[in-house]
Amino acid sequence: MNYLGNKVRELRETKGILMRQVAAYIEVDTALISKLERGERKAQRDQITKIAEFLEADEKELTLLWLADKITDDIKDEPQAIEALKFVEKQFKKNLNG
């Protein structure tokens, strides 16, 4: 999926910011931002913080979208993906409460 890339593009375009400006701020080339927005490249964790800062976006939201992309890409072709997600959610809740 490309939840993060779509959000970055939406934020950037809404603010009238060019890809090269985002790229310069996070110290990457413009092609990487273009690929990130199209879902052809994944951002690194530390880049999320910088992107959020530059676009004045909610870092937690961008991190959630980044994680959602990672999880989706890893399990999208697995027949038991939904069951696995439910299992992990249940385990997380147990660990938080106990």
Overall average pLDDT of the 47-51 stretch: 98
- Encode pLDDT of 24-36 as tens digits: 999 999 999 999 9
Indicate the pTM of the whole model. Answer: 0.90
CA distance 81 to 50: 31
- Domain formed by 3-72, architecture: Orthogonal Bundle (1.10)
Residue 4 has pLDDT above 90, yes or no: yes
Q: Using CB atoms within 10 Å of the CB of residue 83, give its burial: 0 to 12 exposed, 13 to 18 middle, 19+ buried.
A: exposed
Amino acid letter, 26? I
CA distance 98 to 92: 10
- How open is the CA angle 23-9-72, to the nearest 5 degrees? 100
Q: What is the largest CA-CA distance in the chain?
A: 47
At residue 96, the pLDDT reads 84
